[in-house]
Structure 1
């Protein structure tokens, strides 16, 4: 059970995603937040985006202030702690606090790493028909990739755990941009390990340009590859959102 404050001590949860020109992305984030609301119907949950989609994070926080709220918790719907989490989210909050100095904002940690995200990714694979114990299967765990190595290493650690414990020919992390290996290189590694069939596991929250890129690359390598859906509205992802919110309430607010 997730312990949350009650009554007046429960500030709104502002879930902020990156944003995308692909309408499937915002729709998937909306579905995820519907699950969050179903888990905690008494909680005020708002959606926001950093870029490319509306409403923007700053606009949502200013609107909350205009409604009379003086506290809010921002939960980044980001799977790793890279540039968007380390720079963009705090920067947007700082701009709002300059305009609304009596607003208290706490910024939660990003969603990953968390065992529940791994569980959700494996569940998406199972939904696509890929189960542990198939020695001919090679799994590509595809993420966005970034210039901050620890974020990429966190994805690689997940793939390494799967490679050693799932009974597949192997599992290799691959990245859509800014990091190595890419999907073709991951497929070559898996072929060398004995993989005869391939599956794409998604380390993306929602569909969009980068997930489509890695999907196309895997299908170029194996037109019969199995494709798992992004993490999306999985209940365990929603639980992580709520846990990040609860943990943030115990930390100092942004100044």
Structure 2
């Protein structure tokens, strides 16, 4: 029996760097599981669209698809956009089963990815001392999503024994610049920012710009095409594939 296809479903962006990074991440997943049919799709703003990818897979003979939403929080896109896209695609194909997994989420192992990205940024900026951290995320009108980021910031703080706050690029305070300025008001001068974004784009750029203007000494790159993120995608797929097995 053919294993279900895996569709890594990202939001999409007008910034071409975003789609390039997502494609590189999915290439990491393919390298780990060359036996699987793995496709990239986007909800909007980038191509290929989810509907076109589903059509291609159905034409290739797949009747089971596991969708892994490449989202870091359970907010609007996960709760509304993903189910809507799946319902639309399913309605066009008889006998097609599509199972959406949990989003990537905020896995503890992502802190290791953040650390690697931040070490690179600190080395490039020739910074050897830190006295505070800011965890920059997209932000959401969904307070549970923001609280999940804040919890990860507390874990990052405990790991490095440094004061750490979460900041958001949209929809919720504080912005990264505000967070950096607050630390500076407390007398801290070596403040670094970890970018809790999956790929480059307008929001990460804005978060970095505000942080540097406020006096941050370094801002890390987004998580990007990291093997740990790729392994998380495969872990989500494994659960979704099992759920498709008839009982």
The reply to whether TM is greater than 0.5 is: yes
> Partner residue of 2:153?
159
2:103 maps to which residue? 110
Are 1:39 and 2:29 an aligned pair? no
Q: Which moved more, 1:178-187 or 1:158-167?
A: 158-167
Query: Residue 178 of structure 2 corresponds to which residue in structure 1?
Result: 185
Q: Deviations over 1:47-98 (max 9, x none)?
A: 1000100111111112211221111111100011111111101101101111
Note if contact 1:136-1:194 (Cα within 8 Å) is conserved in structure 2.
Answer: no
- Per the TM alignment, residue 188 of structure 1 is displaced from its structure 2 partner at its CA by 3.0
- Equivalents in 1 of 2:105, 2:89: separation in Å? 26
Q: Deviations for 1:111-138, whole angstroms, at most 9, x for unmatched residues?
A: 01211222211221122237xxx87432
Moved over 3 A (4+): none
1:19-34 alignment, distance < 5 Å: 19-34=12-27
1:102 and 1:17 map into 2 onto residues whose CA distance is 25
Query: Partner residue of 1:3?
Result: none
Unaligned ranges ≥5, structure 1: 1-7
In the aligned structure 1, how far is the partner of 2:144 from the partner of 2:166?
13
Partner of 1:124: 117
Corresponding residue for residue 230 of structure 1: 222
How far did residue 185 of structure 1 move?
2.2
Deviation, 1:160, is: 1.2
Give how far 1:191 is off: 2.5
- In 1, Cα distance between the equivalents of 2:16 and 2:129? 37
CA contact (8 A) 1:171 1:190 kept: no
Query: Would you say 1:11 and 2:4 are equivalent positions?
Result: yes
How far, CA to CA, are the matches of 2:4 and 2:42 in structure 1? 19
How many pairs align? 241
**Residue 29 of structure 2 contacts residue 234 of structure 2 at CA under 8 Å; is this kept in 1?**
yes
Tell me the CA shift for residue 252 of structure 1: 5.4
Q: Secondary structure at the match of 1:139?
A: strand
CA RMSD of aligned residues (A): 1.7
Q: Which runs of 5+ in 2 are unaligned?
A: none
